Amino acid sequence: MMKKVGLFSFAAALVLGGVGAWSESVTGVVKDASGTPLRGVMVSAIDEDFHGGFRKSISVLSAADGTFTIDGLASKAFNIRGRFIGLEDNTLEGIKAGSSQSTSVTLNMEPAKDINLQRRADNLLGLLKFDSNEDKENFKMFCAYCHQVGTLGFRSPEEPVDWTTMVTRMDGFGGLYEHLQGSIVSRLLDAYSDEAVEKWPEYAGPPEPEDSILDSRITEWDVGARTNTEGPLGNDTTKYRQPFPAFIHDIEVGKNGLVYAIDPKNDAVIELDTKTDDMTWYIMPTFATVDEKANPRSGIHSIEADADGNMWLTMPSVGKMGKFDVTTKEFVIMSSGPAPAPRGGNPHTLRVDHNTGYIWYTDTGREVYSLSPNPPYDVKEYKLLSADQAVGGGRGESRGRTPYGIDIAPNGMVWYAKLNGNRIGRIDPSVEDGDIKEWNPPFRGPRRLQVDAEGMIWVPAWGTGVIGRFNPETEKWKIYDMPDASNRLPYALNINRKTGAVWITGTGSDTLIHLDPKSGHFTEYRLPSQVTFMREIEIDDDGNIWTSNSQAPPRHSERGLASIIKLEPGI
């Protein structure tokens, strides 16, 4: 049931040159073509030679008078880029931080030559026409969960293109309504073909950034590379060199400036030291050595820290759970199914109950489970409710149940979401059978939910594009309509339990979004890279927001790479 695996690590010794003093800065002003200062332009100091081929950027917004300061830089050359939707990017190369040239940088911004190249995916999704809101929600539920719809990479796959073959082989195609299966290819071509692009309506871009976010700062670390001539990673790590292609699904903020990311493509846990920028891959074992009948790849998916800072993992491809010891760098592998099962089903999202130490996780093909954190790592299964047992008021189940998001309330109750089952549910661990209860929400597609300090359940509605707050005592919902809700794709959210602030992935808009629960006001923080697809949000002890670009395939992203992202909100 449990197997301890020796260390399989690939320590990529990638050290940023000049790390010794990150005390330099670049200051300047942003102006339009007439010389008028520009407010709210994102200015990025980009290290194109970070870790010998990787890329790191630090971005701020220009103030009302057009001025900007990017501090905390190494004493080396950076490319300084200005970016604003509706204006052409302007990049000044080789500006050395701390030198005389870095104290009076001027970025002159010209009108965009082709603003269609800057359209966000929320706008592009709005160009795709459906006969009803129900049809559109169905499409969002099953055909938008891997990559942004309508963006350049989506419209321009490798040539030649047989659109019918490509679309019908997509994972979510079978979940579409039958009438959409017959019409979706023509609808996509009507919206995104070269001929359609020429007829697109004028794009004005999103609203200008609010004053409250002008002091924000974003750091982005690229992970992996576009190509790898040496083949996929394996146990013999000595023959592989950085860089290699990577894909990040989830991240977790650890201790002492360490951030951990999951790389399913290479079956790896990635450790980023944000103080030194060292990035290390720890490769999982080949699972044929653990169970010869198992898939040799774990499909490592989600990650959460326990009270000791060690990382717990779900591995759906082999139906197992894992623990990564952050001190010894060793993996411990155990089944995700109750004994004597050698493997479980499809373990997905997990949370750690820091009061008991138990790990709770959803299995998208089955039920919800708890896992003892100590040997023999006992697993308990909680049988969820059938289609006729939910408290009403919302919509019923569709294709499958799909237990998905999960969280632990301050009172110890376990809350979960059924993505396709269209439910949220509660488990009481103090009762043998869990005293399970489920509710239909008044929207479509509850995904990665969270519980706030007061026990309110916050739910992102992937299909409908709203945020729901559920009160367990009154069993009532409050709905927060996101701007342009039908074109929004809130994949995950998180709550700062100290402040009550709600943070949401702007998965289809290249933004992180702050929701003030009292006023209901949404504030967008634009991210520095186009086509940023996010699946999880973490909040550190200082209130900083962490996420990752989890575009699949990564080539759809602006640089074709995954990345780790830190937002310092400035509020």
Residue type present at position 522: F
What is the predicted pLDDT for the residue at 159?
A: 67
Q: Which CATH class for the 9-115 domain? A: mainly beta
Burial level of 299, CB count in 10 A (0-12/13-18/19+)? buried
- Exposure string for 37-69, b = 16+ CB within 10 A, e = fewer: ebbbbbbbbbbeebbeebbbbbbbbbbeebebe
CB atoms within 10 A of CB 238: 7
Q: Which of 344, 345, 374, 346 is nearest to 359 (CA)?
A: 374
CA 260 to the chain's CA centroid: 13
Query: Cβ-count burial of 186 within 10 angstroms (0-12 exposed, 13-18 middle, 19+ buried)?
Result: exposed
The predicted pLDDT at position 350 comes to: 98
Task: Find, among 275, 394, 376, the residue nearest to 334 by Cα.
Answer: 376
- As a CATH number, domain 388-495 is 2.130.10.10
DSSP summary character for residue 274: T
Backbone angles phi and psi of 378, in degrees to 5: -65, 140
pLDDT at 230: 44
Residue 294: per-residue pLDDT? 57
Residue 338 structure tokens:
């109750």
Bridge partners (DSSP) of residue 416 are 406, 425
Residues in the chain where the model's pLDDT stays below 50 = 1-20, 229-242
What residues are paired with 45 via a beta bridge?
Answer: 58, 80
Q: Could you tell me the CA-to-CA distances from 527 to 194, 225, 262, 362, 531 in Å, in that order?
A: 27, 20, 21, 30, 9
Instruction: Tell if the pTM clears 0.85, that is, is over it.
Output: yes
Q: Residues of 388-409 as b/e, b for ≥16 C-beta within 10 angstroms?
A: eebeeebbebbeebbbbbbbbb
Task: Give the residue among 412, 385, 389, 415 at the shortest CA–CA distance from 401.
Answer: 385
- Average pLDDT in the chain: 89
What pLDDT score was predicted for residue 6?
Answer: 42
Taking CA atoms, 311 is separated from 267, 327, 330, 477, 544, in Å, by 15, 11, 11, 34, 20
pLDDT tens-digit series, residues 279-290: 888 988 877 665
Q: Which fold has domain 284-382?
A: Thrombin, subunit H (2.40.10)
Residue 207 near residue 526 (C-beta atoms within 8 A): no
Q: At what angle do helices 178-192 and 133-143 cross, to 10 degrees?
A: 80
Instruction: Give residue limits of the domains in the chain.
Output: 9-115, 128-197, 284-382, 388-495
- Residues 535, 521 contacting (CB under 8 angstroms): no
Please tell me the predicted confidence (pLDDT) of residue 162.
85
The CA distance from 394 to 421, in Å, is 11
Residues 334/377, Cβ–Cβ less than 8 Å: yes
Amino acid found at 372: S
Q: List, in order, residues 6 or more apart from 21 with CB less than 8 Å away.
A: 74, 75
What distance in Å separates the CA atoms of residue 30 and residue 81, rounded to the nearest whole number? 10
**Mode of pairing for the β-strands spanning 54-61 and 217-223:** antiparallel
Distance CA 224, CA 560 (A): 10
Q: What would the DSSP string read from start to end of 452-480?
A: -TTS-EEEEBTTT-EEEEEETTTTEEEEE
The reply to whether 388-495 shares the fold of 284-382 is no
Q: What local confidence, expressed as pLDDT, does residue 287 receive?
A: 74
Start-to-end Cα distance in the chain? 48
Please give the C-alpha separations between residue 264 and each of 237, 243, 295, in angstroms, as whole numbers: 16, 16, 13
Q: Please name every residue paired with 537 in a beta bridge, in sequence order, or none if there are none.
A: none
pLDDT at 49: 78
CA-only gyration radius of the chain, Å = 23
